[in-house]
Amino acid sequence: MIEILQFEFMRNALYAGFLTSIICGIIGTLIVVNRLVFLAGGIAHSAYGGIGMAFFFGLPYMVGAIGFSFVVAMIMAGVSLKAKERADTIVGVLWAVGMASGILLLDLTPGYNVDLMSYLFGSILSVPRSDLITMAAIGVVILFLVSYFFRDLLAMSYDEEFAQIRGMPVKRLYYMLIGMVAVTVVMVVQVVGLILVIALLTIPPSISEKYTKSLAKMMLSSCFLGMVFTTGGLWLSYRYDMTSGAAIIFLASVVFFLSLFLDRVILLFKKNIVL
Amino acid sequence: MGEIHPMVEMADLSFSYPGQEVLSAINFTVYSGDFVAIIGPNGGGKTTLVKLIVGLLKPSGGMLRVNGKTPGRGGAVIGYVPQQIKHNDNFPASALDVVLMGRHSPDKRWAFFRGGDDRTAALQALEKMGMEKYAERKITDLSGGQRQRVLIARALVTEPDLLVLDEPTASIDTKGQAVFFNLLKTLNKDLTILVVSHDLLVVSSYAKSIACVNKRLHYHDIVGSTTDLMNAFYACSVEEVCPVETVVRGLNKNTFLDLPRHD
């Protein structure tokens, strides 16, 4: 088992998994608590438009994808603040338009064509060192913003109106949160793929939410679970020669359903004691 | 509480959503120390009125002052207790965490570790509401009534001049409601209270005055006697379609129908 760590790509994959788990644990907790999973999915998929744009105009990937997703994310945030009841429709439309425009732009790009599939499941086994550094830097910025605004974010997530009455800049905080989601998603998509991002943003927090009593503990527990899933998934993929991204997600979902089952058992057990 | 002064003043206040007028020509003053119950039919604008007072909505016209200033501009600290909070079933916060939200303000962000006095204040507020033994319990594990008490503790910990509650007893049973309103009555010794309710009979035995909102507003001081009270209810119902009418008529047709008509 240890011998696989002598390969640099394996070490980088582990580091990438750790960094992704930390970023996704923090942002994912805020997404789950604020029920923004659908919106995050929309942002992640619309990043395709950004990828297409980057190739079409010959821009660097990061500039195109982050720029595009950021704009789409701000539109979604604006719509969900102004017309809450229409928000899911608008997100759904932008989700589809983003993906379609990405593919069309790639069709129109002459010559070499990218395999968009590689953005779906990513390739955690081929993460270069430079990406790790960018991820670490973004992680530090997110960690700083979230700790600085921690109590504002907590109060806003629990009761937006009360937070607003207490003088917290609820709208700006919301835009900031969505902005952080956009940057996180684009950054991590490149490394581990679209599907894995959504899985890591939602599965560890939704398991942690049931067993933790504070937002900070939920974040910590989500980061830890994410690390367990990425490391365990990597080991599975190495041991049984499976696609790494899919193995990580599969492990995470097994634990997710186990926790649901466990809750049922605990509930039944409690009922029996009462009876 | 000091000298009696106007806590909330409204003059010709109106509010409309695009294409729909919700409140119009509201003239109403709440004095400090009052305990006002706001009643009225569903969709009559009760919640809108409350949201205007706490500063969540901006008036479309007219004047609104809270302690002499525009809402949200520091005229008075308002402790707001919302109708219900639509959060997840598993929201990760203890009752104490929720109360501590009332102690947070944007200028305290750099204080990474919270001072002990915030915690003490929060625990005291919980104690006042009889909830101190639930401080470390997860908020979502508490019953509707217990959660409501935590939310009031959260409002109290802001050291408010005015306590505004929107349908606070919606999730509490009848027995719990009596206890709850007794508690509000105690709090009213130091606080001005404004409570929205649809439960007329419960409210009537605790509130000092009643405002009936149905696009317009009618204000009634309760002098004390049951007749006066019913009079207020009845008058309110004559001009507008107030739920009062059905309640009062349902109770005793003969006694109430011959009451004098409200201007």
What CATH code is carried by the domain that includes residue A182?
1.10.3470.10
Residue B160: pLDDT over 90: no
| Beta-carbon separation of A33 and B138 below 8 A | no
Residue B2: pLDDT over 50: yes
The whole-number average pLDDT for the span B58-81 is 80
Fold type of domain B1-77+162-182+190-263: Rossmann fold (3.40.50)
| Beta-carbon separation of B101 and A154 below 8 A | yes
The residue with greater pLDDT, B210 or B95, is B95
What 3 state SS string does A102-170 have? Answer: HHHHHHHCCCCCCCCHHHHHCCHHHCCHHHHHHHHHHHHHHHHHHHHCHHHHHHHHHCHHHHHHCCCCH
DSSP class of residue B259 equals: S
- A54-63, B23-32, B201-210: segment of lowest average pLDDT: B201-210
> Torsion angle, CA of B170/B173/B174/B180, rounded to 10 degrees?
-70
Nearest to A161 among B72, B82, B90 (CB): B82
Residue B87: pLDDT over 70: no
The residue with greater pLDDT, B230 or A53, is A53
Residue B237: pLDDT over 60: no
Report the distance separating Cα A272 and Cα A275, nearest Å. Answer: 5
What pLDDT is attached to residue B240? Answer: 47
Residue B254: pLDDT over 50: no
Nearest to B78 among A35, A165, A218 (CB): A165
For chain A, 275 residues long, give each residue's pLDDT as a single digit of tens. 667 777 888 888 899 999 999 999 999 999 999 988 899 999 988 888 888 888 888 888 778 888 888 999 999 999 888 877 788 888 899 899 988 998 888 888 877 666 667 777 777 888 888 888 988 999 999 999 999 999 999 999 998 888 888 888 899 999 999 999 999 988 888 777 888 888 999 999 999 998 898 999 999 999 999 999 999 999 998 889 888 888 999 999 999 999 999 988 888 887 776 65
| Domain-embedded: residue A91 | yes
Say if CB B153 and CB B79 are below 8 A apart. Answer: no
What pLDDT is attached to residue B247? Answer: 46
The residue with greater pLDDT, B230 or B214, is B214
Residues of A in contact with B112 (CB under 8 A): 147
Say if CB A184 and CB A142 are below 8 A apart. Answer: yes
Which residue is associated with the tokens 């994959």? A13
| Beta-carbon separation of A161 and B80 below 8 A | yes
pLDDT-derived band of residue B198, with 50, 70 and 90 as boundaries? confident
| Cβ atoms within 10 Å, residue B262 | 15
Please state the domain count of chain A: 1
CATH 3.40.50.300 boundaries in chain B = 1-77+162-182+190-263
- A140-154, B69-83, B106-120, B138-152: segment of lowest average pLDDT: B106-120
- A162-171, B138-147, B176-185, B213-222: segment of lowest average pLDDT: B213-222
Residue in B closest to A221 by C-alpha: B92
Q: At B172, phi and psi to the nearest 5?
A: -120, 140
| Domain-embedded: residue A251 | no
pLDDT-derived band of residue B245, with 50, 70 and 90 as boundaries? very low
| Domain-embedded: residue A34 | yes
Strands B35-39 and B20-31: unpaired
Which residue is associated with the tokens 């104490």? B96
Angle, vertex CA A170, rays to CA B126 and CA A210, nearest 5: 55
What pLDDT is attached to residue A232? Answer: 93
Separation in Å, CA of B250 to nearest CA in chain A: 38
pLDDT-derived band of residue B75, with 50, 70 and 90 as boundaries? low
The parent domain of residue A132 ranges over 2-202
Residue A178: closest CA among A92, A99, A95, A80: A80
Between the two ends of chain B, the Cα-to-Cα distance in Å is 34
What pLDDT is attached to residue B252? Answer: 42
Interface test with chain A among B86, B104, B118, by most A beta carbons within 10 Å: B104
Q: At A74, phi and psi to the nearest 5?
A: -65, -35
Residue B240: closest CA among B48, B24, B5: B24
What pLDDT is attached to residue A124? Answer: 82
Residues of A in contact with B122 (CB under 8 A): none
Q: Is B130 left (phi over 0), alpha (psi -120 to 50) or beta?
A: left
Nearest to A33 among B88, B101, B105 (CB): B88
| List of residues 6+ apart from A58 with CB closer than 8 A | none
| Domain-embedded: residue A214 | no
* pLDDT over 90, % of chain B: 5
| Cβ atoms within 10 Å, residue B128 | 17
The residue with greater pLDDT, A71 or B199, is A71
Nearest to B109 among A148, A166, A210 (CB): A148
What pLDDT is attached to residue A195? Answer: 83
Q: Which residues are registered as beta bridge partners of B218?
A: B212
| Domain-embedded: residue A234 | no
| Domain-embedded: residue A12 | yes
| Beta-carbon separation of A214 and B158 below 8 A | no
Residues of A in contact with B85 (CB under 8 A): 158-159
Q: At B213, phi and psi to the nearest 5?
A: -110, 120
Q: How many distinct helices (H) and strands (E) make up chain A?
A: 12, 0
What pLDDT is attached to residue A7? Answer: 80
| Domain-embedded: residue A70 | yes
What pLDDT is attached to residue B225? Answer: 53
